[in-house]
Structure formats: C-alpha cells, structure tokens
A and B are shown apart, each in its own frame.
Chain A
Amino acid sequence: GAVVSQHPSWVICKSGTSVKIECRSLDFQATTMFWYRQFPKQSLMLMATSNEGSKATYEQGVEKDKFLINHASLTLSTLTVTSAHPEDSSFYICSARGWTGGFSNQPQHFGDGTRLSIL
C-alpha cells in the first residue's frame, strides 16, 4: 500500500515554457503533499507543503510565482514550473502523507521523481 505516482518521470523542454508535474496518491487519501527539489549527489530540499483545498506554504527562498502548486483533491497535487530556465533543471520529487489523527509520526511516501531538463 501507500503508493505515490509521479508523472512525467522525465521531461525536456525549451527555455521559457511551463512544465506541469503531477503527483497522485493511488491507494490512500493524502491530506498533505510535499514538493522537494534535489540536485545531483545532494539531499532533498523541501520547496513547499501542499494541503488539500488550501494555498501551499512555501519554504524561504522559493518563489511562489515561479513554482505554482495546486492540491485540488485528496489524491492529486500538481507543481507547475512557469517560464522555466536552465537553472530550474533538477530532480523534483513529491511525497504524500495521509491523515494522521493529529500526530506527526506518519511517514511520507515518495513518488519516483521527475527529471526536468531545460534547454
């Protein structure tokens, strides 16, 4: 159980285009989803926290107008990289967490990531 699907797994596009990445929880309802960015040989850097039906909370230094997050249902969150440039090239990973009854021990379940390459 606890499967998270991320799509697409790899995308290459030209500078200036916008790219949408989907994150779906397949067998559970995800009240919270998280979006991370990872550079080669480095750890995960949290970009934003997305709660169903409300605005995402962005980490310091992450441009909310650049990285648009929508969490319209309990099983789907999307990250749109707007007007992408080569410096936005990275590995983007989402994770999902179900309802915990209030305590934070519930683990996050991760998607397989999206490799974004901007030419």
Chain B
Amino acid sequence: TQLLEQSPQFLSIQEGENLTVYCNSSSVFSSLQWYRQEPGEGPVLLVTVVTGGEVKKLKRLTFQFGDARKDSSLHITAAQPGDTGLYLCAGPPRDSWGKLQFGAGTQVVVTP
C-alpha cells in the first residue's frame, strides 16, 4: 500500500495568518490531488498536480508537487474563516485501476 501521510493533523490559526499543510509518501505518485471537505458534505477538488516540481496557484492557495513526485504541500496566504475545513491529499496507487489513496486529512480552523 502506498501511504500518504499528512501533517499536521489539526491546525488552528487566526484570520490573516499563513499556513502550510504537508502530504508525504515514500512512494512515487503519478499525480496528487488536493480536496477540501466541509462538515456533512463531500470533498471538493481543489487542484491536481502532475509534473514533478510543479507549482499551481488558486487565489490565496499555492500547491507544490515535489521534484520526485513523492510529496506535496498546500500553502494558504492570509487565511480567512471560509478556508476552514478538512484538507485531504489523494493520489492513485500504482496499478490502482482509478482508485485513490487518501491521506488522513488536516483539519484547519480559521478564527476571525
């Protein structure tokens, strides 16, 4: 099993602060995806990173895929209460037939 380890598990910050969530594996992934999930809802796809070293920006969110395609990070600048949620990284294991392996998630709470 190709495990994805997310850190930290929980992050509580004040509005306006920056935060970074990490997603690490000992295995190479062909791509990694980041999702945000709010209570009582399904995960919503934020981004897919495919190329080693790739950086993608989505407004105040910056996603990076490691050069070796074994890790990824999500950085949020000037966090807002609306950024609160469970952030999940996921990637397709080798020979997975389209499955996704999810990390354990990082619960982010941004207080006003």
Inter-chain CA distance A57–B103, complex, in Å, is: 21
- Given known contacts A107-B45, A112-B42, is B105 in contact with A46 (CB within 8 Å)? no
Residue of A at shortest CB range from B44?
A: A110
Are B99 and A43 interface neighbours, CB within 8 A?
no
With known contacts A104-B30, A110-B43, A112-B42, A43–B48 Cβ distance under 8 A = no
Contact of B41 with A113 in the complex, beta carbons under 8 Å: yes
Q: How far is the CB of B44 from chain A (nearest CB, A)?
A: 7
Minimal Cβ-Cβ distance residue in B for A4: B42
Question: Chain A: how many interface residues by the 8 Å CB criterion?
Answer: 27
Which of B55-63, B64-72, B77-85, B90-98 is near enough to bind chain A?
Answer: B90-98
Contact of B99 among A34, A42, A110, A115 (CB under 8 A): A34
Q: Which of B40, B50, B99 contacts A105 (CB 8 A)?
A: B50
Taking the nearest CB of chain A, how far is it from the CB of B64, in angstroms?
Answer: 18
> Which residues of B sit under 8 angstroms from A43, Cβ to Cβ?
88, 102-105
Beta-carbon contacts under 8 Å, B18-69 to A: 30-31, 33, 35, 40-45, 48, 50
Cα-based distance from A104 to B98 in the complex (angstroms): 5
CB <8 Å contact, B33 and A107? yes
> What is the chain A residue whose CB lies nearest that of B89?
A43
Closest to A104 in B: B92
Give Cα A110 to B35, complex, Å.
Answer: 10
A71 within 8 A of B: no
